[in-house]
A and B are shown apart, each in its own frame.
Chain A
């Protein structure tokens, strides 16, 4: 009977713990401090994106355009610096672009009442297309000497900890504080749990929804800065990759239901750790790409199946949040 109380979060955490233990015992060189730092560093950007997505999903939305916010504004920074603008000016332009993008997303969803899935699908394609057609000369926006110093955000280390991990930690803390300590955070949960109820009780739902998408776009843009600094370029074609599914995976796997109103930063961390451990372990074992996909799919299936056994769907939960 005790098992019944295990939520998806605990299931995934258990899988993570088992996997981690197996790797630690059987893989020499896995359970070292250095490798742990690498593991975290490799999923830091994914984790930051997961936090942005969590903000939206808690409010019962979804943001498919997150990868566009990750790719285009930071790409703009690299392109503008290449074209001779100073780094601060370019950064301001990029943040402004992300801000406007978030506002448009939020307006479409909160005021025009377009379902978030379709609204962000369209705006994401628009922004990525705008970047490719108007802003960038090449898909991979290259580094130029004017960017020097900026790479520390993605390549340096503070007290031996790589900066992407620190960036992830900072965003974790900010989002956790926002969700748990502020009234706005409480509104996010209220709107996600019951949008109409929230509105009736006098919560300014529409501006709050706009705020969610603005925050998500800004966090996405920040993740893009870390990514660009980390690989000394901005491969804007990443928009066409499957990264957005990985982000949704981290969030849902971690236990933030798409029905909204539940979950928090801890869920994202757990989801990110599981993905990170799998990727790292399989890379050390030198498993082929197809083999990795197979294993990844299997683990995810196990997580989902175990969860639906432990938490069977009922009338109430089945109705919400299934896209």
Chain B
């Protein structure tokens, strides 16, 4: 026993000595050769952010997410809010270019309007990141949802739900002028082409407006009470579609598929309540992280703006009853802002 005790004491003493001996070496540390230049590349830089408008879940979420990622490195993120006006947006982009930020995040209102301006920005040495709505000009990076895929996923789900039923479906589009709406419709058409048995009884634009979506859906449901599914193009608008289905007493009988940014109140809670059966989410915090990641990489790489071009299509998540209750399926703005 005594011997064992001694051994232990000796062992502890030995370890202690060894630590003393090694400690000076650790205190010297090892310099990681790249972090300083990374920090220097970001410190004091400005990133301009030009959404189509602030005050809605997507654009607020992107802003909060990008700020959260970049501000700790001393990057200033400034926002220009054109409040749904395309011409105000073009003006804002022009002034942003003259302010010479390191990068500009652009949320296009359509495929054309900002194309020339973004090209000019990259010529003047500003990286341009486009989010969720790409223009005809491909800039340093596009981060966003693949709208065709969203349309396809929604159509697939609705057709699956329609099996053995009336095969009558309705489509509630967004605004006709919006390319996101047209792309989504293309995705829906791709799938419908393979299913000739499906009959589209109504395909109307509701202008992203919940009240219009409700009015259209009510009329359609009265005419076709045996409708088996509806494809909506945005969850913010399809609250109205869902209200019409609910009022007709058809919740659970009419499969409602939609898409959105996965904000908790707008997506998960409505899926949980049965208002939506499927909400295809392009998770906004992930998109924000992708944009911030792109900016970090571009600034630290020293690539000349306009030389490198690429895309980061957001991996889509299907939010259904199965995962709507989980903590990670959705996000909420107040948490993202913390």
Q: Which of A13-21, A91-99, A165-173, A230-238 binds B?
A: A230-238
Taken together as a complex, chains A and B put the C-alpha atoms of A235 and B211 apart, in Å, by 9
Q: Which of B88-96, B117-125, B202-210 binds A?
A: B202-210
Contact of B232 with A by CB under 8 A: no
Residue pair A230, B214 in contact (C-beta under 8 Å): yes
Taken together as a complex, chains A and B put the C-alpha atoms of A39 and B214 apart, in Å, by 12
Number of A-B contacts (CB under 8 A): 93
A residues near B53, Cβ cutoff 8 Å: 139
A109 to B: closest C-beta gap in Å: 27
B274 to A: closest C-beta gap in Å: 13
Contact A283-B220, Cβ < 8 Å, known A42-B215, A137-B333: yes
A residues near B159, Cβ cutoff 8 Å: none
Contact of B266 with A by CB under 8 A: yes
B residues near A181, Cβ cutoff 8 Å: none
Residue pair A286, B203 in contact (C-beta under 8 Å): yes
A residues near B215, Cβ cutoff 8 Å: 42, 279, 283
> Can you list, as one digit per residue, whether each of A169-195 has a CB less than 8 Å from chain B (1) or not (0)?
000000000000000000000000000
Name B205's closest neighbour in chain A (CB-CB): A289
Contact A284-B176, Cβ < 8 Å, known A231-B240, A235-B236: no
Name A276's closest neighbour in chain B (CB-CB): B215
Residue pair B333, A45 in contact (C-beta under 8 Å): no
* Contact for B55 among A136, A155, A289, CB less than 8 A: A136
Residue pair A290, B219 in contact (C-beta under 8 Å): no
* Contact for B243 among A144, A232, A237, A289, CB less than 8 A: A232
Query: Taking chain A's interface residues, is the majority helix, strand, or loop, or is none over half, making it mixed?
Result: helix
Contact of A240 with B by CB under 8 A: yes
Q: Which of A27-35, A205-213, A304-312 binds B?
A: A27-35
Name A151's closest neighbour in chain B (CB-CB): B243
Contact of B6 with A by CB under 8 A: no
Contact of B239 with A by CB under 8 A: yes
Name B173's closest neighbour in chain A (CB-CB): A289
Residue pair A139, B209 in contact (C-beta under 8 Å): no
Taken together as a complex, chains A and B put the C-alpha atoms of A315 and B265 apart, in Å, by 59
Contact of A8 with B by CB under 8 A: no
Contact A235-B222, Cβ < 8 Å, known A138-B55, A139-B55: no
Name B247's closest neighbour in chain A (CB-CB): A155
Name A156's closest neighbour in chain B (CB-CB): B247
Contact of B246 with A by CB under 8 A: yes
Contact A29-B239, Cβ < 8 Å, known A139-B56, A283-B202, A290-B176: no
Contact of B84 with A by CB under 8 A: yes
Residues of B within 8 A of A (CB): 53, 55-57, 60, 83-84, 176, 201-205, 207, 209-211, 214-216, 218-220, 222-223, 236, 239-240, 242-243, 246-247, 265-266, 333
A-B contact pairs, 27 of them (CB 8 A): A32-B222, A38-B222, A45-B211, A137-B55, A138-B55, A140-B239, A142-B266, A144-B265, A155-B243, A155-B246, A230-B214, A231-B211, A231-B214, A231-B239, A231-B240, A232-B239, A232-B243, A233-B239, A235-B210, A241-B207, A280-B219, A283-B215, A286-B202, A288-B205, A289-B204, A289-B207, A290-B176
